[in-house]
Structure 1
Amino acid sequence: MKQLVFVVGATGYTGRAVVQQLSSANIPVVAHIRSDSPKGEHWKKSFEQQGAIVEQTSWEESVIQEALMRHEPTHVFSLLGTTKAKNRKEAQRGNQANYEVVDKGLSLLLLRCASKIKNKPKFVFLSSMGVVENTKNAYLRARADVEREIKASELPWLIAQPAFISGADRDEFRPMERFGAIVSDGILSGLSFVGAGGLKEKYASLTSEQLAAGLIAWGVESSQSSRTLSAEDLRRRPDQNK
């Protein structure tokens, strides 16, 4: 079967890298952009120049369902996520956005729609390290709820749980996250010199390019499914893992 990857969250830091790498590898990709995205036209032009198909729609369930039915992807990448800063901006524009609405609500909407596709695409979900059941952290709780529903679905799936996703090229300035990534990476690098290199592999931050490469290697190039991937897994390729 010919591969086609439907990327939701395509305009985000990781999503952009995924679309770019898929396009460069000549793997057909559909980049989803929400119709009210402030920079929608900019990203539409950018993705089309890379060779991607652009699907610019609202987040109504029937609309997403129709788009997925029409494209019949073999893989669906759910790369959605919000931040407190984004929540404030959306509130100023009259939109409701929080972890429950975006990270959980839209991810589950996408899962429901993908589950109705006849060919049962592989569902690749970008989660987070530290996700456990019954957590009191709102961000992690939203993702734990999504992970549970994915595992209970009839779709083949992969869940990625990286630590920090950070890089100097991130256009959305997240000072505390960037500072945390730099400090933790420095500590982990130091520990690697005293025989604790495994900690660096497991906990060090990933750039969008590194994460995208790992998601594509495991999600598209490998037939493996029903697996939760750590940052250590994502740094390697499937044939390098025991």
Structure 2
Amino acid sequence: MMDLKKCKEYLRIVLAMENEIYKQKRLMEDLQRKIDSLGNSIKIKSPGVPIEDIEEPIGCGWYGCFGLGLIYSCVVFSAFISFYGWDLDSFSFITATGLIPIISFAVFIVKKIKKQQKSFHDSQRRVNEYSQAIDMEKARVAEENRMKLYFQAEWKKVANLNAASRETLDSFYALNVIHPKYRNFSMVASLYEYFDTGRCVALEGPDGAYNLLETESCKARRYFAPTGCRQKESICSF
């Protein structure tokens, strides 16, 4: 059986090891959270316009050519009629009458061309922004994957240290100085506090650390228990 000094030193060492193992576990949890948060790609919304379908609206030029041809045909037709006997007034009337729908059609064509050009440039801008976003996302994922490898290596180092610490602690517990019921961080911390403050000089016995720990644990359970349970315990204690 250990004397007071040796028992206190034993508890101090075991408590330090339990504390170190606790810190290692917390560090492993933090590293694992970082690992899980890295390298996850984010889905980028497509602009909704296939790249192969975005082409310069060159077909609009054909509309312009058609309009010019139509104007030219009307002028020639009017000149032909005038040459064969129609007077100048008839020629002017036919020309003016023919130009009204032609000009209207030309205005329509110009508006349509501008609208298609705007639609083309807007679509091209969205596709360019989408391509840039994809490239940036790939770069981000690649960088985070490099960081992920680093944190994985660190996690492995801490895990190896934790396994070694756990093995060393188990060898101390194997000495059977502390009852198996009290072999955890919080219990060992309380036992060491009793010895360090002089409240106890032994683990066992009526005034021992085990008995004091059980008494304080029972009081704590009663204090934090619901009101109904405390009243029931008070009635049962009489």
More helix by percentage: 2
More strand by percentage: 1
Larger radius of gyration: 2
- What is the TM-score of this pair, normalised by structure 2? 0.18
- What is the TM-score of this pair, normalised by structure 1? 0.18
